[in-house]
């Protein structure tokens, strides 16, 4: 008999060491049951029906059937089963991970590059456990919204977030100056959300866009390449010292911080990429970017907080709003994880709450 209270997870990896590490980390969680393992996608696919997992930790590069091929089959045969990708920190791994996220994977972690087995276990533990808990929470919320959960403490998950359940709940008041820049902060579920939202923006938007997506080095380059291939405007990873240009979206490089500074002429603004410490355990950090946007574009900026875990971006959005920015948050129903938007909404620094499919329209309103 299936235990509906515990999250059922299958570990899929072609390396014995990582099957062991991932299984040990997951088995240490009281609300998780490891229902089985598989050494490639083909074996995993054959076991899903009998093991009934809610979630797979899924290695990307495997023999016979890799993680991407398994995801394609899962979408057809087992669409309710989630996946957290386990990727190598390489350009190939980054490209494949972006494709996996676009196919519907919940999120990803990277395999440690070096260290002992115990050190690697601790590194994976620190990134995987919050992700699994976020996936479990999203699953519970979806159950509530579908009416599958009618009693018990899980009903309280939505307490205090009723405001965010309604799209475009608040509309910003009139502002004399239109926005001259757009800043976006996003995390878990971001690549897929950006892939849906950014193509809706016109190529002649007329202002620059700056994006912080919580990701390690290399992966932001893959994200920029993927988005650039499907959008009307230019999208790429930011370079230190480059001037801000209209109709160009710059993504903060993974493992670095990105901010706006005054150019040498005192009039134009340029990008500064730094190695400053993490903020909110994030590097790049949304707060770090938003503070600089708020300081350099007083009364003429748009700040957007989208799907993601944690509270990064709330303090930066607060400064932007205090300096006259229009602020937008993604609504709960369309978020993969309603963490970052929830914190900003609770802090009272959001002007507009909108579903993912309406965010591009809301951006254009602040500019046009």
pLDDT at 147: 64
The verdict on residue 266 lying in a domain is: yes
Query: Are 334 and 284 within one domain?
Result: yes
301-305 and 181-186 beta bridge pairing: parallel
Catalytic-role residue among 136, 180, 187, 334: 187
Catalytic residue (one of 13, 54, 95, 214)? 214
Interatomic CA distance for residues 351 and 344, integer angstroms: 10
Whether residues 106 and 123 fall in one domain: yes
Domain end position, chosen among 137, 157, 177: 157
Residues in the chain: 368
269 and 338 share one domain: yes
Which regions in the chain score pLDDT beneath 50?
A: 149-169, 172, 174
Domain of 277, CATH number, reads 3.40.50.180
Asked whether residue 119 falls in the same domain as residue 174, the answer is: no
Last residue of a domain, one of 129, 157, 185: 157
- The string of pLDDT tens digits covering residues 18-39 is 999 999 999 999 999 999 999 9
Burial 89-102 (b: 16+ CB within 10 A, else e): bbeebbbbbbbbbb
Q: Is 30 among the catalytic positions?
A: no
| 1, part of any domain | no
pLDDT for 142 = 74
DSSP run (H or E) holding 8: strand 7-12
Specify whether 312 is catalytic. Answer: yes
pLDDT at 254: 96
- Residue 247, both tokens: 């109709």
Determine, yes or no, domain membership for 335: yes
From 136, 157, 178, the end of a domain falls on: 157
Can 151 be counted among the known catalytic residues?
no
- Shared domain for 184 and 306, answered yes or no, is yes
Say if residue 192 is in the same domain as residue 240.
yes
In the prediction, which pLDDT does 2 show? 56
Identify whether residues 49 and 170 lie together within a single domain. Answer: no
Is residue 178 situated within a structural domain? yes
254 domain-assigned: yes
Give the tens place of pLDDT for each residue, 130-142: 999 999 988 887 7
Residues 347 and 198 in one domain: yes
**Domain CATH for 139:** 3.40.50.2300
In a domain, 329, yes or no: yes
> 2 in a domain, yes or no?
no
Residue 362 and residue 289 share a domain: yes
Same domain, 206 and 97: no
Domain carrying residue 279: 166-367
Question: Do 85 and 180 share a domain, yes or no?
Answer: no
Looking at the structure of the chain, the number of domains it has is 2
Tell me what pLDDT residue 176 has: 56
> What is residue 154's predicted lDDT score, i.e. its pLDDT?
40
Both tokens assigned to 354: 């909108």
In tens, the pLDDT along 142-186 reads 777 666 544 444 444 343 344 433 444 455 454 557 999 999 999
Domain-located, residue 15: yes
Nearest to 252 by CA among 238, 270, 231, 242: 238
- CA distance between the termini of the chain: 57
What is the C-alpha separation between 308 and 306, in angstroms, rounded?
Answer: 6
267, 339: one domain: yes
Q: Catalytic pick from 312, 334, 344, 351? A: 312
């Amino acid at each position: 008999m299936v235990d509906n209270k515990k999250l059922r997870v299958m570990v899929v990896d072609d390396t014995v060491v990582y099957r062991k590490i991932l299984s040990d980390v997951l088995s240490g969680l009281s609300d998780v049951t490891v229902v089985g393992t598989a050494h490639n996608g083909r074996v995993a696919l054959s076991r899903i029906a009998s093991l009934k997992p809610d979630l797979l930790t899924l290695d990307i590069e495997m023999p016979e059937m890799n993680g991407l091929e398994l995801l394609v089959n899962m979408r057809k045969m087992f669409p309710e089963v989630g996946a957290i990708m386990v990727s190598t920190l390489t350009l190939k791994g980054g490209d494949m991970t972006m494709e996996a996220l676009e196919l519907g994977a919940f999120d990803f972690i990277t395999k440690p590059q070096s260290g002992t087995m115990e050190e690697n276990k601790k590194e994976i533990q620190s990134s995987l456990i919050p992700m699994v808990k976020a996936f479990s929470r999203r699953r519970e919320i979806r159950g509530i919204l579908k009416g599958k959960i009618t009693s018990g403490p899980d009903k309280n998950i939505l307490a205090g977030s009723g405001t965010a359940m309604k799209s475009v709940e608040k509309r910003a008041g009139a502002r004399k100056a239109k926005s001259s820049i757009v800043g976006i902060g996003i995390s878990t579920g971001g690549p897929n959300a950006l892939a849906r939202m950014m193509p809706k923006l016109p190529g002649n938007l007329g202002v620059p866009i700056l994006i912080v997506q919580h990701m390690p080095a290399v992966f932001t380059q893959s994200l920029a390449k993927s988005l650039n291939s499907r959008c009307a405007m230019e999208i790429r990873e930011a370079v230190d010292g480059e001037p801000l240009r209209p109709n160009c979206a710059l993504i903060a490089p993974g493992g670095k911080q990105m901010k706006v500074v005054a150019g040498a002429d005192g009039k134009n603004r340029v990008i500064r990429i730094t190695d400053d410490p993490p903020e909110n355990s994030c590097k790049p950090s949304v707060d770090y970017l938003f503070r600089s946007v708020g300081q350099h574009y007083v009364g003429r900026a748009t700040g957007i907080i989208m799907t993601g875990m944690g509270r990064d971006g709330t303090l930066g959005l607060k400064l932007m709003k205090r300096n006259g920015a229009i602020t937008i948050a993604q609504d709960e129903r369309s978020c993969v994880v309603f963490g970052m938007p929830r914190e900003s909404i609770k802090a009272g620094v959001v002007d507009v709450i909108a579903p993912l499919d309406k965010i591009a329209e809301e951006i254009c309103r602040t500019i046009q």
